[in-house]
Structure 1
């Protein structure tokens, strides 16, 4: 169930499931994806009402091009099974599952969704946020064809590591890299974790650039003010698009002329550069179509 074509997931915003105004506002935000949250953003005594509200929102078809997902409460909690049943009936684009640290958890979620009648199009997004999840990320990512995205839970990972939140995220780089390797090896997308200081736009933008340079497909967000810079920084730049076009044109011309050596801007071009150029242009076209 992996995506055949690149789907923009530059910005994926958490929205509190208990807040009806927030769910309504989400219909107007220029995000690529939404996570309608039943977990951290909802108090225990509000879980049941939030579940109904989020299921109705996900089933409404009123969110346009946005990828609509539901984050359920974690495995082993009192709300997990009911959340999965409600999500299966609502049929969102995906169900986001927190605290996934084994292939067995993915399989159990898949079976529960299918038993509850979830449509084939409803994917699983696995949140990886523990040391075990980092070490077993490849097995998690490969556990089901219904799993299409890994989501970094960097706050929980930092907590588990007893690590500090510092610019550059040095304490988390090993975990980020392991998850990226697992996602790319299994053909899954992977989303970077949240940035906690919503007033620090400069720091947020720096972390977006770092995530893009690492290879993340996009970033999870906690505030609408983070959407615009995230969309801009995770989209191919005009310079990248222009260079990609020139790489493909030069390669195709050389192929027609039977030349074995291709250069662009003084640099030798190989098949891998052409593949990356085509990926960039496909993503740019998908973003432009929003």
Structure 2
């Protein structure tokens, strides 16, 4: 059943803003944009572990949205060089088929002593990962350094921008999260990255504040909500904490559904057996699919008629809402 829409009386400013959003969307169509990349499950693979690297095709077959070749927490200090060189080789040779899964890389954090050589090695070749994970972002200096270094490393070979996935893992990072998100968006205008997601590093965060980790994760309630709120305020994905007890699939499902209810768009996973449950928990339900399908249909009808702002199911629709609907439909297309 089609829902009739009519333009209700609204403040002129709101109408002008909605019309501006619609106009900007048509102008932006001429500029190539990164396609929305779902990250319902984010799976880590240590860059130095050949056995786990060889299992990447199985992760792809399991439906993992995002596979992260790791140089950071998953790699011992004396194996960092091996990990970064191995990742560079994987990118150069293109020997692994990531299929519909996103190929990403996590470097070591700013101040670790490994961050510069990680970027110079991994991001200097012709083949780049789809996205880079920047762990333990605590302040604007970390972002400033990353943006400058990225411009220096890939300026000559970047065909398009890469995604930036930020990690909030400390009390300082959480307190600065709004400024971090805003500055990331500002820096992206003149850099080779697009800030697309925030990951909540729960165990490092708990250690930083001296909290005791529990299965119910009540000690992380405030931090998880803060990460979701900031991410959504800046139109970014929010990726929830790891569920450490990988054998407890019932507990994993419960926490995954809780995270989806909080507003998270995905979850970190550490074992292949977790992927299916997490993917399902963060997939849109049928009523959300119907909402997105109908909204896009009516949006296109209004565009063809030359109309700007319109009302759908009692709500004024702007471009961010249209993008949300398109993201839902892209999830369906990816899974089909």
Instruction: Give unpaired runs (5+ residues) of structure 1.
Output: 257-261
How far is 1:95 from its partner?
1.6
Of 115, 119, 130 in structure 1, the residue corresponding to residue 170 of structure 2 is 130
Q: Within 5 A, what are the aligned runs for 1:31-110?
A: 31-61=64-94, 62-90=97-125, 91-110=128-147
Do the aligned residues in 2 keep the contact of 1:100 with 1:129 (CA within 8 Å)? yes
Distance 1:245 1:70 in 2: 33
Distance 2:171 2:43 in 1: 24
Q: Which moved more, 1:61-70 or 1:240-249?
A: 240-249
Q: Within 5 A, what are the aligned runs for 1:170-181?
A: 170-181=218-229
Distance 1:151 1:5 in 2: 20
User: Equivalent residue of 2:55, what SS?
Assistant: helix
Of 178, 188, 194 in structure 1, the residue corresponding to residue 236 of structure 2 is 188
Of 152, 166, 169 in structure 2, the residue corresponding to residue 115 of structure 1 is 152
Distance 1:109 1:273 in 2: 32
Distance 1:8 1:206 in 2: 21
Distance 1:121 1:200 in 2: 38
Do the aligned residues in 2 keep the contact of 1:39 with 1:71 (CA within 8 Å)? yes
Of 231, 234, 242 in structure 1, the residue corresponding to residue 279 of structure 2 is 231
Query: What TM-score comes out, normalization by structure 2 length?
Result: 0.74
Change over 3 Å in CA distance of 1:122–1:159 after alignment to 2: same
How far is 1:237 from its partner?
2.0
Give CA-to-partner distance per residue, 1:150-204, whole Å, 9 cap, x none: 1110111111122222344222121122222221222222211211000011111
User: Equivalent residue of 2:219, what SS?
Assistant: helix
**2:246 matches 1:198:** yes
* Cα RMSD for the two superposed structures: 3.0
How far is 1:239 from its partner?
4.1
Distance 2:300 2:85 in 1: 54
Distance 1:282 1:175 in 2: 26
Do the aligned residues in 1 keep the contact of 2:293 with 2:325 (CA within 8 Å)? no
Change over 3 Å in CA distance of 1:221–1:207 after alignment to 2: same
Kindly indicate whether structure 1 or structure 2 has the higher relative contact order, using CA contacts under 8 Å at least 6 residues apart. 2
Instruction: Give unpaired runs (5+ residues) of structure 2.
Output: 1-30, 306-310
Of 233, 245, 268 in structure 2, the residue corresponding to residue 220 of structure 1 is 268
Corresponding residue pairs, total: 279
Change over 3 Å in CA distance of 1:228–1:126 after alignment to 2: same
Task: Tell me the residue number matched to 1:207.
Answer: 255
How far is 1:6 from its partner?
3.6
Query: What TM-score comes out, normalization by structure 1 length?
Result: 0.84
Distance 2:298 2:151 in 1: 48
User: Equivalent residue of 1:271, what SS?
Assistant: strand
How far is 1:275 from its partner?
7.6
